[in-house]
Amino acid sequence: MKISNTIILILIIGGLLSCDKDENIEGRCKTIDISSKSTTSATGGGVISFSKSKSVISVQIKETGVLCAINENYLELDSNGNCQYDAKKFESSDKEIGTFICYLTNLQPSTTYYIRAFTILESVYKHRNEKVVYKNVVYGDLRSFTTFEDPPKFDYPPPITTPPCPPCVTLNWNIFHAGMPTYFERGVVYATTPTPIITYNNKKVISGTGTGYFSTEICDLKFNTTYYVRAYALNGGEPVYSEQVSFTTCELPSLTTNIPSNVTPNAATLGGNIIYVGNPAYTERGVVYAANTLDLTKENIYKKISGTGIGDFSTEVFGLVPNTTYYVRSYAINGPKPAYGEMVSFTTEISGIWTKKEDFAGGIRVGAVGFSINNKGYVGTGEDRETGFKKDFWEYDPDLNIWTQKADFKGGARIDAVGFSIGNKGYIGTGWDGNNFKKDFWEYDPILNTWTEKTDFAGEVRSSAVGFSIGIKGYIGTGWNGNEYQDFWEYDPDENKWTQRLNFPGESRRLAVGFSIEDKGYVGTGGNNNNDFWEYNPVRNIWTRKENIPNGGTASAIGFSIGSKGYIGTGYPWGRRDFWEYDPISDTWIQKGDFAGGGREAAVCFSIGNKGYVGTGFTYDEGGPLKHDFWEFTP
């Protein structure tokens, strides 16, 4: 039987086509490395070559491409030329000997793939006078590659149009794509040079995951400095950065603090001078001030002063404490942190005005007594060291500024007696006449200008005691007759009777001062230059220790009250002239203007309305002369 021109198709998968040793074809395929790799694609290919025997009539390259899979064991075609399992076949359009290229697409980011190039050769050769057709698949070597991560993606950050002011600035960012794999760290990186990177510049990690907005606060910034900032995210390889945003921090205003002017006991004019308004320009200016502190911030007392631009600004502040050192700085604000001028200080004036009045008409003396009845003052007794002890008695009219002699004190000449008024009557008692200590007690009627002896003081004879009145009662305590005392007695003029009250709780003493404020009595100083101060409550018959007088202690001083305040000044040692005001509500002392008549002790005093009066006495700092000058005090 004759067989002619019959074609037999033989497909051999994965092997080498061969017949007789000299009647075969040998195909070769080499896998080339991946190029142009991305997150979801890559470029691959191979190199094809072959050799044939003399019996081979023709060879045709039917198909070229690359097999790709995540499992290296799946990179072979089945009998139908299809991929196995989840492998993918990517064909090339190149069908010539040599290099072919194909494109791998729809890959997964950050995934390792295995590849093999392949080619399908179709050969025709003569076998026993018949043409035979063979198809053969030739595979290249096994290789692998990993796709890039899918990077996170940021929105373009909004520009910063207003210069932020140190120390901090807050920036907002938006991650609209979290990447694959999802990022595991995000934050910002910033520097004073462009294109900051996390390897070399300041980095701040911001907690959180997923897409959406996040904010960050960058602190420790410097003024008038340009910063460059980028958000970043990490999801495996190189950091992914947002677009860069830059800003220049604000420049603080420049200003000086003016020297305070128009300083009074309770007010002063404060201000400053704006030299440069800042960038942006300041929105608030003023002064900040405080007493006795160098730590001045806007947390202290401050006062805004309206206005803009450069130049001087000022304001008057009130409510200052007399004789107090204040520190002040001007300020201007164009951001969260104020700019300050230099610190300056000033001391308020000591309040209290002293006015010289008509000299006491009775002449020089020490150790006199004084009190006021209604709108008149009265001074009497004492010693002038020339004619001896005195018993004359004088009335002062503050409206006319004149002295008028009244009936002599009927109890006789003496020194260091006690005097006070109750209602429209005056009272004098105790003292020393040069020979004897006294305990007699007398009442003066200014209308009749007469003296009436009352019941003797119920305590021991004495001089240099303290006395004052509260309401309709009088009080005498402390004193000296060779011994110092601390007993305390109440006088009732209606019953003309003395009643012993709770002893003064301080040390026994003489030459103390006493006065009353409203319904309380006050005793302090005296003795061995004490500075303790005590309040007496007649209703409860108790004494309460109060704030010490801040004058270091004194004796033979004067004391009186005006309204709701008490006053103590002058005294020993060495003729003091300092003068102090006591506030019983706050239990505080403030220094007032020094007594203008000069330092002295053993002076006399009283108050009328809202004025105080001080005169007579003697002083050591002017050689020891006795005085008869007379002064009016206005708080």
What's the per-residue H, E or C state across 241-291?
A: ECCCEEEECCECCEEEECCCECCCCCCEEEEEEEEECCECCCCEEEEEEEE
Under the banding of pLDDT at 50, 70 and 90, the label for residue 620 is low
Q: Hey, which bits of 337-496 come out as E strands? A: 339-340, 344-347, 353-357, 369-373, 376-383, 389-397, 402-406, 418-422, 425-432, 437-445, 450-454, 466-470, 473-477, 488-492
Interval 353-363: pLDDT, tens: 999 999 999 99
Nearest Cα to 246, choosing from 273, 266, 226, 269? Answer: 226
Whether 307 and 380 share a structural domain: no
pLDDT at 302: 74
> Is pLDDT above 90 for 15?
no
> Is pLDDT above 70 for 55?
yes
> Is pLDDT above 60 for 468?
yes
Whether 15 and 125 share a structural domain: yes
Contacts of 386 (CB under 8 A, 6+ apart): none
The answer to whether position 3 is within a domain reads no
Q: Are 353 and 610 in contact (CB under 8 A)?
A: no
Of all residues in the chain, the percent with pLDDT exceeding 70 is: 95
Count of CB atoms situated within 10 Å of the CB of 450: 12
> Is pLDDT above 80 for 503?
yes
pLDDT at 323: 82
Whether 372 and 340 share a structural domain: no
- Beta-sheet pairing, 130-139 with 8-12: parallel
Q: Of the ranges 5-14, 158-167, 403-412, which is most confident?
A: 403-412
Please tell me the total count of domains within the chain. 4
Whether 26 and 110 share a structural domain: yes
> Is pLDDT above 50 for 17?
no
pLDDT at 19: 30
The answer to whether position 532 is within a domain reads yes
Whether 550 and 629 share a structural domain: yes
Whether 203 and 290 share a structural domain: no
> Is pLDDT above 80 for 624?
no
Range of the domain at 557: 353-634
pLDDT at 4: 34
Interval 119-146: pLDDT, tens: 999 988 887 778 888 888 999 999 999 9
Whether 393 and 447 share a structural domain: yes
The answer to whether position 2 is within a domain reads no
pTM: 0.56
The answer to whether position 1 is within a domain reads no
Dist. CA 23–CA 25, nearest whole Å: 7
Q: Of the ranges 172-181, 298-307, 408-417, 571-580, which is most confident?
A: 408-417
The answer to whether position 363 is within a domain reads yes
Whether 542 and 478 share a structural domain: yes
Nearest Cα to 498, choosing from 519, 524, 477? Answer: 477
Last residue of a domain, one of 195, 222, 248: 248
Under the banding of pLDDT at 50, 70 and 90, the label for residue 6 is very low
pLDDT at 300: 66
The neighbouring-strand residues paired with 327 are: 290, 345
Instruction: Kindly state the average pLDDT of the residues 603-613.
Output: 98
Nearest Cα to 568, choosing from 519, 507, 633? Answer: 633
pLDDT at 621: 56
Segment among 78-92, 384-398, 554-568, 609-623 with least mean pLDDT: 609-623
Under the banding of pLDDT at 50, 70 and 90, the label for residue 21 is very low
Under the banding of pLDDT at 50, 70 and 90, the label for residue 623 is low
Under the banding of pLDDT at 50, 70 and 90, the label for residue 301 is confident
CATH number at residue 203: 2.60.40.10
Q: Which residue reads 């006050």 in tokens? A: 522
Dist. CA 495–CA 27, nearest whole Å: 146
Of all residues in the chain, the percent with pLDDT exceeding 90 is: 73
Last residue of a domain, one of 206, 224, 248: 248
> Is pLDDT above 70 for 261?
yes
Query: What DSSP character marks residue 411?
Result: T
The neighbouring-strand residues paired with 11 are: 135
Instruction: Kindly state the average pLDDT of the residues 97-119.
Output: 95
Last residue of a domain, one of 199, 223, 248: 248
Phi, psi at 72, each rounded to 5°: -65, -15
Whether 220 and 265 share a structural domain: no
Whether 334 and 370 share a structural domain: no
CATH number at residue 608: 2.120.10.80
pLDDT at 475: 98
Under the banding of pLDDT at 50, 70 and 90, the label for residue 18 is very low
Under the banding of pLDDT at 50, 70 and 90, the label for residue 12 is very low
Torsional sign, CA 380, 381, 383, 386: positive
Nearest Cα to 630, choosing from 610, 608, 604? Answer: 604
Contacts of 129 (CB under 8 A, 6+ apart): none
Instruction: Kindly state the average pLDDT of the residues 72-87.
Output: 89
pLDDT at 175: 96
> Is pLDDT above 70 for 513?
yes
Whether 446 and 581 share a structural domain: yes
Whether 502 and 597 share a structural domain: yes
> Is pLDDT above 90 for 438?
yes
Nearest Cα to 300, choosing from 332, 327, 336, 263? Answer: 327
Q: Give 296 or 313, the one with higher predicted confidence.
A: 313
State the average pLDDT for the chain: 91
Segment among 56-60, 268-272, 339-343 with least mean pLDDT: 56-60
The answer to whether position 430 is within a domain reads yes
